[in-house]
Structure 1
Amino acid sequence: MSENLKQKPKKSRENIVLIGFMGVGKGTIARELSKELGRFTLDCDDLIESKENLKISEIFAKNGEEYFRNLEKDLAKFLSKNVKNAIISTGGGFAKVKKLNKIGKVIYLKSSFEAIINRLKNSENSDKKFAKRPLLRDLDKAKELHNARESLYESKADIIIDVENKTPQQISDEIIDKLSLEK
């Protein structure tokens, strides 16, 4: 068979794991991919909130960031052992977990800090979107965190998608194309 022939799209049962900075749109893209691929979507922050019966901001306030990161590690182990064929939207720091690629194909949704903040400010329920992200309370520190995490995201990613100035549909289509998946 000629190597020049384009590979036929495949149906994969491998999870799609979306990583990137908080507010970049991982949940929005997960829902778009879900519509296109007919897969269930899991949101890591929602799963942790459900397990703890607390909002993320309450977990941080009550138990601190280290406790929250340990919850993420436990969730990563659960996902890698028990979940297939899903689209998984992670929290901004979830990329720190070891063996992230054991969960599925890792897609980094990349954007500048300024574009993320503008996206959040211009969204419906803007106040709620900022309130649920405790690490965005100080934008100068958040920008430093964004810059520090960029190399982490890039090192963990199987695929990097620049999401700036693209619609969720365009981003979803690009992910599906790069993964050579069948809609």
Structure 2
Amino acid sequence: MLDPKNKNIVFIGFMGVGKGTIARALIQATDRFGLDTDDLIESMENRKIKEIFEKDGEVAFRKLEKKTAKWLQKNVQNAIISTGGGFFKTDNLEKIGTVVYLRSSYEGIMARLLSHEKADLKLAKRPLLSDEAKARALFEERAPLYAKKADVMIDVENRSVQEIVAEIIKVLKLKRIKKRCES
């Protein structure tokens, strides 16, 4: 599935589905570099996503995502990229790399977040989850759009990180590295 140029792998999916967690595990398994679009935006702006939403609004944040997407397309190769929940709307997503949609039900995502030892923190850093009815409606709106943008769909609900990573490696025909010895 991955072309000979060793393009990037771009994870999309609803907020809280585990894009960052899966990306970090895949980075360890393949020895690639990884980037998180929200982290890039926070570094670029020198403030948290929540603050950007509160002070500048969602429209301003989406402009920052577009700027980040253009930078990724131009400057990044052979990396694993986890994205924010709305990043899939960028115009050049398919030019950045192979798009992998990590799919789960809304209930599965909320169960995942609420079972985390730092559930309050996980929820607080996702401003669009603050209103349950709006969050559920947003999920219903986005789910088919994620599927349309994806080159590959991976079901993540009720699966271990290791199972998900193994499937991604198999489907994308990635090379798994051997565990390094601790020194």
The size of the alignment, in residue pairs, is 176
Q: Which amino acid aligns with 2:124?
A: A
d(CA) in 1 for partners of 2:22 and 2:5?
18
Which deviations, in whole Å up to 9, do the C-alpha atoms of 1:68-111 show, x marking residues without a partner? 00000000000000000110000000001112110000000000
Q: Is the 8 A contact 1:10 1:181 kept in 2?
A: no
Shift of 1:10: 8.7
Segments of 4+ in structure 1 off by > 2 A? 9-13
Aligned ranges 1:6-45 → 2 under 5 Å: 13-45=6-38
Please report the TM-score for the alignment, with normalisation by the length of structure 2: 0.93
d(CA) in 2 for partners of 1:13 and 1:50?
26
Report the CA distance shift for 1:163/1:12 in structure 2 as closer, same or farther (over 3 A): farther
What residue is the counterpart of 2:147 in the other structure?
154
Identity of aligned residues (%): 59
Q: Is 1:95 matched up with 2:57? A: no
Please report the TM-score for the alignment, with normalisation by the length of structure 1: 0.93
What residue is the counterpart of 1:3 in the other structure?
none
Q: Which amino acid aligns with 2:42?
A: E
What residue is the counterpart of 1:130 in the other structure?
123
5+ residue gaps in structure 1?
Answer: 1-6
What residue is the counterpart of 1:165 in the other structure?
158
Which deviations, in whole Å up to 9, do the C-alpha atoms of 1:89-137 show, x marking residues without a partner? 0000000111211000000000000010010000121111000000000
Aligned ranges 1:57-136 → 2 under 5 Å: 57-136=50-129
Q: Is the 8 A contact 1:105 1:158 kept in 2?
A: yes
Note the aligned Cα RMSD (angstroms). 1.5
d(CA) in 2 for partners of 1:155 and 1:141?
22
What residue is the counterpart of 2:132 in the other structure?
139
